[in-house]
Amino acid sequence: MSDASSILCGRVAAVLGPNIDTDIIYPGRYLNITDREKTAEHLFELAYPEIRSKLRPGDFIVAAANFGCGSSREQAAAALKFSGCGAVIAASFARIFYRNAINLGLPAIVSPSAHLECSEGDELEIDLAGGLIRNLSRNLSIAAAPLDPRAIELIRSGGLIPYLKAKYASAPAAG
């Protein structure tokens, strides 16, 4: 069920190793920031501060296994999303991060080999529903797991909040 709205195009902003934990993505000291947009200011602040300046809207972060391990803090996914990251591609994700990303409308794509077949600056085309990544810079096809239709629906809605907002639109406003 590939269609234009599930194709993402962008550039690889960084290729990271395994076990990129939530403290690396978003330090605990900023957990009392509850403005989702403001979380972007602290993305990768302690370990990889250079990524933030390199990340352009629509860019991808590519990583090895177990991306997002650790805390349930959704600021980790929010910081990526509001920094303009178009998608995270990893060999595997820690489950809470994965759910947080999808619930915030940030595509999280599982690809066992993308971190080996992409370099910083490569242009990629990702077919979310079809489960395929094309590395246009290297003329390579890279296998990825198709995103679950439920996840694609949430991403198209902009995340769980807009999705539920639409679902309960007829309910009276919160008092």
State yes or no: residue 157 binds other proteins (CB under 8 A): no
State yes or no: residue 138 binds other proteins (CB under 8 A): no
State yes or no: residue 29 binds other proteins (CB under 8 A): yes
Distance CA 143, CA 158 (A): 25
- For residue 141, count CB atoms less than 10 angstroms from its CB and return exposed for 0-12, middle for 13-18, buried for 19 or more: exposed
Nearest distance in Å: CB 125, other proteins:
28
State yes or no: residue 41 binds other proteins (CB under 8 A): no
Nearest distance in Å: CB 11, other proteins:
26
Distance CA 160, CA 49 (A): 29
- Buried b / exposed e along 10-33 (16+ C-beta atoms within 10 A): bbbbbbbeeebbbbbbbbeeeeeb
Contact region for other proteins (CB under 8 A) — 9-17, 28-36, 119-127, 133-141? Answer: 28-36
The alpha-helical segments, DSSP class H, found in 35-112 are: 49-54, 75-82, 95-103
**Residues lying near other proteins in the complex (CB under 8 A):** 18-19, 21, 23-24, 27-29, 31-32, 34, 46-47, 65-66, 69-74, 77, 92, 94-96, 99-100, 103-104, 150, 159-161, 164-165, 168-169, 171-175
